[in-house]
Amino acid sequence: MPYLKLTTNIAIDKEPSAKLLSQFSQLLAKETGKPERYVMVELTGDKDMLFGGSNEALAFVECKSIGLSAQQAKSLSAAISQLLASNLQLPAERVYIEFSNCAANLWGWNGSTFG
């Protein structure tokens, strides 16, 4: 049920994209304590985007999970920023991250919900 969507204006080749998706999937499973088999990660690159009036490298990340705590969000923010810096040379000040704690009864899967 953890879901991470990364949207960036950086063009990312197939191989680095697959590596980054895998790293985010493992990170999300670890930080939320959920099995990786429930983790979904999406990456969209080469988008037309502006941040602070500039089209320099940037990213917007949506991170959602059932039971996501404020402490987990803080830890994830640091870890996500580190991954983006090391993989895409993207400075943390050019990244917004939106965290959502979703109710189990409002998260559908396998023809039902988790709650």
Angstrom CA distances, 84 to 46, 72, 104, stand at 15, 18, 29
Of the listed 2, 16, 35, 91, which one is catalytic? 2
Backbone φ, ψ for residue 96 (5° rounding):
-105, 140
Q: Which helix (H) or strand (E) holds 6?
A: strand 3-8
Active site residue 2: yes
Q: What is the DSSP string of 19-48?
A: HHHHHHHHHHHHHHT--GGG-EEEEE-S--
Active site residues: 2
